[in-house]
Structure 1
């Protein structure tokens, strides 16, 4: 009789953060908080509707939650069995679903100006893009400033209403 014993799968090497990772993630979380605050500040319709409550509560929660949970360790990779594992960038799937719904429902928010509707689309897209950057290539996202560029898009879209606004630290 022959006994076959399987060797354990090799352990993943310990995670070593990218240079500037902590700062990049802190900046992303800050951009998410500012964007969520802007979404919460948008006017509501004369009479609350389920959609207006969704825009006032669920959408800003998703923006803030996802940007605050970004995790470069949760990237696309090969599993121990050699199969590809799709990363989530640290984002909760339910929160990502909330962000994806913006494109389907923003035109129903007729109490908002067209500018505000477009900026909501950009906010949802920038947050989703930040997650995708980290899942696809966290090194480039952090080391080459791609995550910072997504945050700049997010800050620009979520600027307070009015023309005379610039992000803190900008000229």
Structure 2
């Protein structure tokens, strides 16, 4: 197999004129300082609430009646806490609104892994399993929606609403003491 079909540099023509190239195609030079942005109304409070909910959810996951070596009790719980405490509405690409909302690749990968830990969930009640899936699904969705539309998520109350869902899920699935 040969690569003769690829054009050579001479066949491609001259470099495009930056004046004629649309602004959304041109790469801006990277600066040393991150650009200062205006915060959304209620951003600080909403992110603090999300971090607190993330810590409560991680604590709940660690307290589930599973063996201490269960993947769910450590790496998954850590990923829930890390994701909710590292939310960042500035972590998006302003051109196509894609980003990760401040959550690391490692945390996202661990959150995606819950589906592979179903066998470890055998000792859990149905309510606890449902709550665990609800918590992880919400935690996965928050950074995506935050990166896509931070204004609606923060100012529109979506982040607060999802945090309430997480709190409700772990509240319903807490072990009952009677």
Band the TM-score falls in, shorter-chain normalisation: 0.7 to 0.9
Does residue 155 (structure 1) correspond to residue 175 (structure 2)? The answer is no
Partner of 2:65: 43
Alignment equivalent of 1:118, drawn from 124, 130, 134: 130
Q: CA deviation at 1:86?
A: 2.8
Partner of 2:28: 9
Alignment equivalent of 1:86, drawn from 79, 98, 102: 98
Alignment equivalent of 2:81, drawn from 44, 57, 64: 64
Q: Per-residue CA shift, 1:5-56, capped at 9, x if unaligned?
A: 96883888630000100000000000000000100111124xx65xx1x111
Q: CA deviation at 1:163?
A: 6.6
Partner of 2:52: 30
| Secondary structure of 2:88's aligned partner | coil
Q: Is the 8 A contact 1:65 1:95 kept in 2?
A: yes
Alignment equivalent of 2:42, drawn from 10, 20, 44: 20
Hey, what's the Cα distance between the residues in 2 that align with 1:77 and 1:62?
26
Cα RMSD for the two superposed structures: 2.6
Deviates more, 1:102-111 or 1:125-134: 102-111
Segments of 5+ residues of structure 1 without an aligned counterpart are 79-83, 165-171
Segments of 5+ residues of structure 2 without an aligned counterpart are 1-15, 20-26
Q: Per-residue CA shift, 1:91-122, capped at 9, x if unaligned?
A: 01111111111133234421111211111100
Partner of 1:167: none
Alignment equivalent of 2:112, drawn from 100, 109, 112: 100
Q: Per-residue CA shift, 1:112-138, capped at 9, x if unaligned?
A: 112111111001001011111201100
Equivalent pairs counted in the alignment come to 151
What is the TM-score when the length of structure 1 is the normalising length? 0.78
